[in-house]
């Protein structure tokens, strides 16, 4: 099967990594490359940076860019993804969404669109991160009493949302496993006289600096021992490979909202 793929944010770091991965995959073809009108890449061949021509130019015209595509891979910003979502729904183009920072209202809109097109949405497409989420689910069930849970994440200086979507997903998975609601138990800021730690809370610490691709550590701190589960990304290629696995998974789907647990059969 040949998967015809469009890439959003084609001139960016993640966009380029996706284009390279599509180029290297024997069962995938680049069918469209999208970017904002002010991007310096507009009009250039999307694969030019790899030293060969794909015949697909980077375009700001969404309709044109999606015309021959079966699926759009989107790692951009929430406002951009919502514009893409409306057109993908209209054209019947499936979506793989790696964008983070959506509001609750935007998530509802994505779920509504998934009744018409198949969508795989995950804050992190890395296979390793999703296996880590499964480990955290298991750990949280067993360590829900007597252990304080803290999530520490570090990313590059250009990341605009905090905590990372992956850190929040980790919190959600653990809270759900313990029968808690993350909205009620998350602590995102500590400053000044905070009082003693609430044992039912899940704390988050955010680090931003340099070119860190993405590090996440969950600390289960008990009395006399602590357990740390850590995942470190050294390359965005893991996200790109996970995205292509998602594309293949969606091939047999016409509608529905899925995540990487579905793609990797981790349910």
The alpha carbon of residue 1 and the mean position of all alpha carbons in its chain are separated, in whole angstroms, by 25
Q: pTM of this prediction?
A: 0.84
Q: What is the mean pLDDT of each run of 10 residues along the chain (267 residues)?
A: 96 94 96 94 94 94 94 96 98 96 96 98 92 97 97 96 94 97 96 96 98 96 98 93 97 96 92
Q: Quick one: residue 197, left, alpha or beta (phi over 0 = left, psi -120 to 50 = alpha)?
A: beta
Please give the domain boundaries of the chain with CATH numbers for all domains: 3-121+236-263 (3.40.50.720), 127-233 (3.30.360.10)
Structure confidence at residue 123 (pLDDT): 87
The sign of the torsion formed by the CA atoms of 162, 166, 168, 171 equals negative
Whether 94 is a known active-site residue: answer no
Active site residue 232: no
Residue 236: predicted pLDDT: 87
Of 3, 155, 216, 231, the active-site residue reads: 155
pLDDT score for 142: 96
What is d(CA 106, CA 75) in angstroms, rounded to the nearest whole number? 15
Burial class (CB in 10 A: 0-12, 13-18, 19+), 101: middle
């Amino acid at each position: 099967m040949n998967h015809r793929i469009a890439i959003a944010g084609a001139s960016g770091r993640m966009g380029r990594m996706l284009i390279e991965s599509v180029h290297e995959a024997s069962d995938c073809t680049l069918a469209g490359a999208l970017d904002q009108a002010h991007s310096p890449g507009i009009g250039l061949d999307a694969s030019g940076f790899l030293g060969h021509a794909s015949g697909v130019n980077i375009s700001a015209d969404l309709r044109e860019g999606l015309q021959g595509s079966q699926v759009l891979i989107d790692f951009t910003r929430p406002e951009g993804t919502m514009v893409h979502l409306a057109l993908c729904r209209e054209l019947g183009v499936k979506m793989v969404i790696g964008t983070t920072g959506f509001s609750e209202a935007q998530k509802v809109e994505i779920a509504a669109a998934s009744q018409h097109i198949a969508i795989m949405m995950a804050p992190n497409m890395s296979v390793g991160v999703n296996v880590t989420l499964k480990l955290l689910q298991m750990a949280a069930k067993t360590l829900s009493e007597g252990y304080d849970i803290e999530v520490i994440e570090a990313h590059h200086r250009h990341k605009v949302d905090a905590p990372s979507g992956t850190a929040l997903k980790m919190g959600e998975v653990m809270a759900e496993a313990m029968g808690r609601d993350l909205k009620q138990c998350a602590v995102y800021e500590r400053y000044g006289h905070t009082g003693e730690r609430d044992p039912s809370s899940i704390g988050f610490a955010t680090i931003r600096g340099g070119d860190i691709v993405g590090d996440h550590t969950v600390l289960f701190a008990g009395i006399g021992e602590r357990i740390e589960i850590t995942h470190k990304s050294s390359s965005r290629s893991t996200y790109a490979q996970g995205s292509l696995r998602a594309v293949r998974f969606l091939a047999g789907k016409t509608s529905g909202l899925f995540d990487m647990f579905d793609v990797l059969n981790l349910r």
